[in-house]
Amino acid sequence: MKNYKKDFPLLMQNPTVYIDNAATAQRPQAVLDAVNGFYQRHNANPLRGIYELSVEATEDYENSRRAVQRFIGAAHPEEIIFTRNTTESINLIAYSYGLSNVAEGDEVLVSIMEHHSGLLPWQMVCRQTGAKLRFIECESDGSLDLNKVEALINDKTKIVAATQVSNVLGREYPIREIARMAHKNGAVMVADGAQSTPHIPVNVTELGVDFFAFSGHKLYGPMGIGVLYGKEELLNKMPPFLTGGEMIESVARDSAVYAEIPHKFEAGTVNAAGAVGLNAAIDYVKGVGFDEIHRREFEVSGYALDRMREIDGINIIGSDKAEEHNGIITFTVDDVHPHDISEILASDGVAVRAGHHCAQPLLKHLGYRATVRASFAFYNTKEDADKFLESISTVRERMGYGKQKLL
C-alpha cells in the first residue's frame, strides 16, 4: 500500500494522528513548492503591470483559473471567481445575487445540513428583504426524501441552497435532482462544495447548479484561497460584492465602469500565490485520482466504523454504510461529553474535532447538542485508525465508568 504521507511534510515531521481533515487538510510538498516558487520567481502584482514579472504573475494566476475551470467542469474560465474561502463565496452570492433578486413574499429554501456559512448569509438576505427562510430537513439517518424536497419548492422560491456533502454526516446529497426541481420553479441553485470537492469528482455543468462554492484548504491547497463558480449570464447581471482596485474599467469622480467578469468580483490585489497553490493541489489530487482517494478513505474509515460498532457505548451518527460517509465519522460516547472525549484523544496524540461542527441546527434536528468528528483523508492509514480506536475504546474507563468490554 502506497504511503502518501511521504508527500506531506507535516505528517512526516509530526507524529499526531491527524483525522480532522474535514476542518482542514494537510498540504503536500508540491503545493508548498508552488506557493514558494511563485514568490521566488514570479511575484508581482498580477493584472496591472506591463513588465515581464507582472505578466508572468498574471499568467500564473489565470492558468490557475483555467485549472479550476477544468477541475469542476465549468463552461468558461470567466465563471471562476477567486475568493478567500467557501464562506466568502456564499456571502458574495447572498449580498450580490440574493439582495438584488429576492423580495418580500419570496422564499429562500436551505437544507438543515448546511454549515453555518451556508445558512447565515441566507438568514441575512431574508432579514433584509422580508423573504421567508424555509428548511429542507433530512431523515434521522441523514438521508433526504426528494418528494418532501419537491413539495417545499414553489413559484415563490427564488433560491435553493444545499450542501453537496454534509460536514457532519459525510453523506452526499442529490444536487442534480434538487437543481432540476429548483429550475422547474424558476429558482437558482446554490451548492456548497467545501466537503465534496476533496472526495468526489465534481462537474458543475452536469450537476446543473447556478452557483458552486469551495475552499482550497480542504482540498490540500493553501488557506485563504477559495472559489465561486457562477453561470456567466447570472454573474454578468450581478452587481459587484466588493468595490475598489483591479475591478474597474474606468473611474470618474462620482462613478465607475466595472470590469467584466471575473474581475468585477475580484476587488483588490488578489491572492495569486494561493491560486497557484490551489492549481498545484488540483494537479496533486488528479495525480492520486478520485478512484484511489475513495478506495483508501473507504477502506480506512470503513474499518474504523466496523470496529467502533464493537465498542460498548459508542453511537455513530448518520448512515450505517461506510461508503455513505466520505471518510467522516461523527459519534458520541455514552455519558462522556464530546470535549472530554476529544481531550482524551488529544492526550493520546489523536486530533479530532469536538463540538457542534458549525452546524448547530442539524445537530439539534438530529437530537444532539455536541458530538465528536473523526474525518479521514486518503493519506490516513489503518495504523492511524488503530490508534484512534485504541484511544476511544478506553474513554469511558478513563472517565471513571468502569472497564469497557467488547461486545
Partner 1 sequence: MENRSFYNEILTEHNIHPDFKHDIPDADIVLDGVNPSCGDEIQLKLKIDGDIITDGAFVGDGCAISQASTDIMLGMIIGRKKEEAVKMGNTFMRMIRGEASEEEIESLEEASALRDISHMPARVKCAMLGWRTLSEALKNES
User: Any idea which residues carry the catalytic annotation?
Assistant: 358
337 binds partner 1 (CB under 8 A): yes
Q: How far is the CB of 3 from partner 1 (least distance, A)?
A: 26
* Cell representation of residue 206: 452536469
Q: Is 370 in the site for partner 1 (CB under 8 A)?
A: yes
Q: Is 390 in the site for partner 1 (CB under 8 A)?
A: yes
Helix (H, G, I), strand (E, B) or coil at 51: coil
Beta bridge partners of 91: none
Which is nearest to 87 in space by CA: 223, 275, 220? Answer: 223
Buried b (16+ CB within 10 A) or exposed e, 329-339: bbbbbeebebe
Contact 308, 389 (CB under 8 A): yes
Residue with Cβ nearer partner 1 (37 or 349): 349
Residue 348 interacts with partner 1 (CB under 8 A): yes or no: yes
Q: Would you say 303 and 384 are in contact if contact means Cβ atoms under 8 Å apart?
A: no
Pick one of 355, 361, 365, 386: the residue that binds partner 1 (CB under 8 A): 355
Q: Is 391 in the site for partner 1 (CB under 8 A)?
A: yes
- Which ranges in 73-192 belong to alpha helices (H)? 86-92, 99-101, 120-129, 146-152, 175-184
Q: Say how far apart CA 35 and CA 89 lie, in whole Å.
A: 22
365 binds partner 1 (CB under 8 A): no
Question: Which amino acid would we find at residue 244?
Answer: G
Least Å distance, CB 393 to partner 1, is: 9
Looking at the Cβ atoms of 120 and 399, the one nearer to partner 1 is 399
382-392 and 290-309 are packed helices; what angle lies between their axes, rounded to 10 degrees? 30
Shortest reach from residue 334's CB to partner 1, in Å: 12
Compute the least distance from the CB of residue 361 to partner 1, in Å: 14
Q: Kindly tell me which residue out of 223, 340, 351, 361 binds partner 1, with binding defined by CB under 8 A.
A: 340
Where does this chain touch partner 1 (CB under 8 A) — which range of 104-112, 124-132, 298-306, 333-341? 333-341
For residue 347, state whether it binds partner 1 (rule: CB under 8 A). yes
334 binding partner 1? (CB under 8 A): no
Q: How far is the CB of 348 from partner 1 (least distance, A)?
A: 7
**Which H, E and C letters describe 299-333, residue by residue?**
HHHHHHHHHHHCECCEEEECCCCHHHCCCEEEEEE
By CB under 8 A, tell whether 336 contacts partner 1.
Answer: yes
Q: How many residues does the chain have?
A: 407
Contacting range for partner 1; rule: CB under 8 A; set: 26-34, 74-82, 112-120, 331-339:
331-339
Judged by the rule CB under 8 A, the positions of this chain that interact with partner 1 are 335-340, 343-344, 347-348, 355-356, 369-370, 390-391, 394, 398-401
